[in-house]
Structure 1
């Protein structure tokens, strides 16, 4: 899978977390909080080493992911979702 495809998948996973995490995933969906967070972690681990040009944005995303995961674990849904929106609004599909 190309970097462009991985970035698109990452954007989708982050967007899903921004709207649904941790407890608003539709019952009909295959996505759960656990699978969504696992997808985000896996995709970011694959994307991060390939980014050459947007290093500052990558550092920001790292920080926001840590913030979101910690907030969700602490039961701070709004804070976690805001961190995910911060990532999504970077237009991550355009990172290089």
Structure 2
């Protein structure tokens, strides 16, 4: 599901699924890293999206999106569905420049 925040199966890293459900299985999914807010520096407006994971402040780092093999995503541990418009706007900014 778009906006789902997953822990990777083989590590502590978190990612937010950016790719929407296309209705077909795809071997790779577009994701953005999710970092603890305290571990990240200054936020770039429209590219770094604040969110909560387990009651702690985090940030979705849209400027570092990557396609990951679908099998590396572990279970959903949180979601940023409420941030969908900001996630899509960040993709537009990265691709179109506005």
> TM-score scaled by structure 2?
0.32
Higher strand share: 2
Structure ranking higher on relative contact order (CA contacts 8 Å, 6+ apart): 1
> TM-score scaled by structure 1?
0.32
